[in-house]
């Protein structure tokens, strides 16, 4: 089956700095691909390009078969996105956000949205301006998972969560994504998240893909930390949460 996300030769310079340098990747259906790298490696920029939120200088992107820069509004209903910072209005509550999304998303399932909020322990009536970073991340994850998107893109959704909370939220994510035939691209700097979630790990280093690991090909998933550190000496700057 063809890739759900194809990125070919993506280059981007911002503020005189080469942020992306010839990035190429393809996401197969029914896989979770983890994009691993330190802060400033270019992860967030790459995700924004993949979704048509940032225009690259060169290269191409095909997401669900179309260029996201030219996609019809209905295309957004097939794509879930958890940004590194919530993109809801500060005055919005989860219920406000969900009403807004339901009006634009044909596959929106209100009962599923409420169930996900319950499982994640996310607030329903608190405004985003009054939420903690973790609470906001839970609401955004529930919003992204609700319509069972074919392509799910997440930017550090587990960052700055206390370990017990992170494990709980990660458990919900692993149980709910990807949907059948879908694909996930998850950016993180946490090696433990990568080890638990990934079918494939891409290492991004200063805008370049430094390594591409098929986790299923490793003898043991537990050896992923060691394998990553062998391939990427700078990974001491990555998080290992015990």
pLDDT greater than 90 at residue 235: no
Question: Is pTM beyond 0.85 here?
Answer: yes
pLDDT tens per residue across span 36-56: 988 888 999 999 999 999 999
pLDDT tens per residue across span 8-23: 999 999 999 999 999 9
Provide the H-helix boundaries in the chain.
43-50, 94-102, 110-120, 133-145, 163-176, 191-197, 224-231
Give dist(CA 61, CA 16) in Å, integer.
Answer: 23
pLDDT tens per residue across span 181-201: 899 999 998 888 888 889 999
5-221 carries CATH number 3.40.50.300: yes
Spans of all domains in the chain: 5-221
Q: So what's the pLDDT on residue 223? A: 63
């Amino acid at each position: 089956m063809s890739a759900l996300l194809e990125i070919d030769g993506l280059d981007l310079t911002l503020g005189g700095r080469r942020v992306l340098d010839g990035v190429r990747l393809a996401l197969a259906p029914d896989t979770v691909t983890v994009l691993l790298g330190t802060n400033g490696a270019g992860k967030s920029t790459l995700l924004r390009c993949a979704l048509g939120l940032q225009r690259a200088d060169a290269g191409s992107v095909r997401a669900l078969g179309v260029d996201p820069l030219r996609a019809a509004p209905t295309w957004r209903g097939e794509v879930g996105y958890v940004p590194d910072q919530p993109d809801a209005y500060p005055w919005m509550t989860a219920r406000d956000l969900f009403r807004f999304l339901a009006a634009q998303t044909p596959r929106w399932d209100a009962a599923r949205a409420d169930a996900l909020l319950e499982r994640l322990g996310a607030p329903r009536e608190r405004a985003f301006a009054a939420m903690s970073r973790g609470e906001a991340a839970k609401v955004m994850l529930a919003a992204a998972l609700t319509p069972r998107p074919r392509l799910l893109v997440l930017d550090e959704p587990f960052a700055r969560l206390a370990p017990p909370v992170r494990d709980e939220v990660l458990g919900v994510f692993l149980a709910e994504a990807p949907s059948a035939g879908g694909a996930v691209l998850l950016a993180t700097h946490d090696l433990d998240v990568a080890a638990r979630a990934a079918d494939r790990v891409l290492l991004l280093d200063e805008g370049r893909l430094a390594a591409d690991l098929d986790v299923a090909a490793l003898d043991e998933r537990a050896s992923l930390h060691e394998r990553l550190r062998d391939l990427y000496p700078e990974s001491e700057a990555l998080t290992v949460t015990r």
